[in-house]
Amino acid sequence: MPDISKGMELKDHKTPYASFLLVIEGKIEYLQDGQTKVLYTYDRHTIEPHVVHKVIALEDSVCLLIQI
């Protein structure tokens, strides 16, 4: 069962912590500051604290988010 089903959207949000997003399986779209980045299996992205962003699953996907 996917963590994030195809088409699911995590609407604009932010966190007070720096975060590390890892796509374990699938494909997601990461949007921040008007820019879009597509992340595939094993891609990773660092998210700075207090930055508004959102995520859209382009495929059924499994992701790991580590907050530091």
Residue 1 has pLDDT above 90, yes or no: no
Mean pLDDT of 40-62: 97
* Domain count within the chain: 1
Report the pLDDT value the prediction gives residue 3, as an integer from 0 to 100. 86
- The percentage of the chain sitting over the pLDDT mark of 90, rounded to a whole number, equals 94
The structure tokens listed for 20 are 């590390």
CB-based contacts of 35, cutoff 8 Å, min separation 6 = none
What CATH code is carried by the domain that includes residue 53?
Answer: 2.60.120.10
Instruction: Determine the number of helices (DSSP H) and then strands (DSSP E) in the chain.
Output: 0, 7
Mean pLDDT of 52-62: 97
Please indicate, yes or no, if residue 19 is contained in any of the structural domains.
yes
52: domain range? 9-67
Mean pLDDT of 12-19: 96
* Average per-residue pLDDT for the chain: 95
